[in-house]
Amino acid sequence: MTPRVSRSFRPSLPVTLILALLAVLFASLGSWQIRRAAEKAILETEHQHAPSLALDTALATERRFARVETSGHYDPQRHILLDNQLWQGRGGVHVFTPFVTSSGTAILVNRGWLPLPPDRRELPAVPTPAEEVTVRGMLNDFPVPGRMVGEADRLETDRWPQLVTYMRHADIARVLGLPLETHIIQLSRDAEHGFEDRDWKPVFLSAERHRAYAFQWYALLAACVILWLLVSLRKTRVDDT
């Protein structure tokens, strides 16, 4: 009598449940990344094909990414310095300076990155022209804080510039005492009176990056299915008579 080994398909219920839950999780995460990729692709297209508009027109139509140009005056003293901004591996701030146009529109201009000294009590100098200038840049949404850890910074009316961790429109408008627009201008890379890191991107993560993440999640989903098939195939000894 010579025993032989055959295989039978006998899934284990606990293993099936665990791998099914993992598969559902990975499928959901992959689908979420695909949706995010589609959203980012739309933003990237809008950024590439944004029109050049007068600032008042761009604000009235809420044309995000519109290329705008306007004349007016910077506020040479009252700067908002957004903390925790990295550029080329160095920590620093993005400088937001109030700008009042010739037509009376008040808007913040992101003038780029400046290094922050180790002693945060000594904030960087922000050279700013007092005369009338022309500003060129891209209209964008007001920076919205993500998940806030801790209390927001308390802004004061008599201390400038001010370092903040989160940009909150209502607080900044209150301390400036201006009818501040809910959009900002990101100063063009070739415009005067700006600083470093002005290669503005429409999104933090590109659509291609989200697709790569989706592929990873779907690969894990496929691995769950393959693993379930392998562990469900069990060896059975059969005795030949």
| Residue ranges covered by each domain of the chain | 3-42+206-239, 66-187
Angle at 70 between CA 64 and CA 75, to 5 degrees: 100
> How deeply is 101 buried, as exposed, middle or buried, from its count of CB atoms within 10 A (0-12, 13-18, 19+)?
middle
Answer for the pair 167, 79: CB distance below 8 angstroms, yes or no.
no
Predicted TM-score (pTM) of the model is: 0.74
Residue 1, pLDDT above cutoff 60:
no
Question: How far is residue 5's CA from residue 237's CA, in Å, rounded to a whole number?
Answer: 5
Q: What are the tens digits of pLDDT across the range 63-95?
A: 888 999 999 999 999 999 998 888 888 889 999
pLDDT digits (tens, 9 = 90+) for 100-157: 999 899 999 999 999 988 777 788 889 999 899 999 999 998 887 655 555 556 778 7
Confidence bin at 233 (pLDDT 50/70/90): confident
3-state SS record for the chain: CCEEEEEEECCCHHHHHHHHHHHHHHHHHHHHHHHHHHHHHHHHHHHHCCCEEEHHHHHHHCCCCCEEEEEEEECCCCCEEEEEEEECCEEEEEEEEEEEECCCCEEEEEEEEEECCCCCCCCCCCCCCCCCEEEEEEEEECCCCCCCCCCCCCCCCCCCCEEECCCCHHHHHHHHCCCEEEEEEEECCCCCCCCECCCCCCCCCCHHHHHHHHHHHHHHHHHHHHHHHHHHEEEEEEECC
